[in-house]
Amino acid sequence: MTERKVAIVTGSATGVGAATALLLAGRGYNLVINYSRSEAEALTSQAACQTAGADTLLVRADVADDAACRAMVQATVARWGRVDALVNNAGITSFAGSSNWDALDAQTFQHILGVNTVGAFQMVRACVPHLKTSASGSIVNVSSIAGALGIGSSVPYVASKGAINAMTLHLARALAPEIRVNAVCPGLITSRWFVDGIGQEGYEKVKSVYERTTPLARACTPEDVAEAVVWLVDGARTVTGELVLLDSGMHLGGKVPVPGRS
C-alpha cells in the first residue's frame, strides 16, 4: 500500500476537476484522472499532476454506468491499495432554461440525473468500503447554487443538484464518523463549460449581470472552487454535512447599498 493518500476526482480532464486534481497532487495525493470524452485534456491534466509529484491513473469511464464506477475504484485499489478521498465532480446539463419544454423530455431529464446524481451515488457506493479504512475518509460533491436556490441552466439540472445536496446531508449522517461528506455549491464559474453551453456572447452577458448584482462582484474561477474542495478534503476535520455556497453572496439577494459608498 502506498504511503501517499489517494483521491479519485471524477470529470478531472478540465475545469474544476482538473484544478482540484492539481491542487491535491501538490498536497501529496496520488490521483485518478477520470474523463468520459476529453482524452487530450485528460492527458494534459494527468501530466500536470505528475509534474506536481503525483502518481496518476488515467481512467475513461462514464459515471452513469455502475459497472464503470466499480471498475474505476477496483483499478484504484489495485494500483495503490487505498482510497482516501472521492470528489464527485463529473456533471452535465442542458442549457434549455425553464420554459423550453420541448428540450426537456424524459430522456434528457433521466440522462442528466443519471450522471449528476445517480453517478455520484454509484461512485460513493463503490468507494465507501475503502474510505472507511482510511484515517481521513472524505467525500466532496461538486454541486451548484442551482440546487440551493432553484435556479440554473435547466429544470433537470436544478433537480439533479438539489438531489445531490439532500444526498450529501443524508450521507454525512449515515457514513459518520469514519467518512466526512460535504458539498460545494458554486455560482457562475469562468470555465469552458459555460461558454460551450451558451456561447461566448451569452456568457459575457451573464457574467456582466452576475458581477453587477452579487455582493462580491466576481464569478468563481475553477481554482476558487478547487481551493474550497481541497480544504474540505484535506482539512476541515470537524466539518461534515455542509453545503458551502461559493456564489459571491448571490444567495443574499443582491447588493445592499452601504452608507458612505457611491
Its pTM stands at 0.93
Backbone angles phi, psi at 132, to 5 degrees: -65, -25
pLDDT band at 94 (very low <50, low <70, confident <90, very high): confident
Smallest CA-to-CA distance from 115 within 161, 148, 181, 57 is with: 161
- Which domains does the chain possess? 5-191+221-245 (3.40.50.720)
Q: Check whether 258 has a pLDDT greater than 60.
A: no
- Residue 210: the pLDDT is 83
- Distances in Å between the alpha carbon of 45 and those of 52, 112, 141, 197? 11, 25, 20, 22
Q: Do 18 and 48 touch, CB atoms closer than 8 A?
A: yes
**CA–CA separation, 144 vs 52, rounded Å?**
28
In this structure, how many other beta carbons lie within 10 angstroms of the beta carbon of residue 95? Answer: 16
Q: Check whether 8 has a pLDDT greater than 90.
A: yes
Task: Name which residue leads in pLDDT, 150 or 195.
Answer: 150
- Residue 261: the pLDDT is 41
The residues, any chain, with a CB within 8 Å of residue 149's CB and separated by 6 or more, are 250, 251
Backbone angles phi, psi at 60, to 5 degrees: -90, 120
- Residue 255: the pLDDT is 59
Average pLDDT over residues 199-217: 85
**CA–CA separation, 2 vs 25, rounded Å?**
14
Q: Check whether 98 has a pLDDT greater than 90.
A: no
Laid out side by side, the sheet with 29-35 consists of: 56-60, 29-35, 5-9, 85-88, 137-142, 179-186, 243-246
Q: Do 80 and 128 touch, CB atoms closer than 8 A?
A: no
Q: Check whether 16 has a pLDDT greater than 70.
A: yes
Looking up cell 420541448 gives 102
- Residue 99: the pLDDT is 63
**CA–CA separation, 123 vs 8, rounded Å?**
9
Query: What is the secondary structure of 97-158 as a DSSP string?
Result: BTT-GGG--HHHHHHHHIIIIIHHHHHHHHHHHHHTTSTTEEEEEE--HHHHHS-SSBHHHH
Q: Check whether 205 has a pLDDT greater than 60.
A: yes
- Please state, rounded to an integer, the average pLDDT across all residues of the chain: 91
Would you name the residues annotated as active-site residues? 157
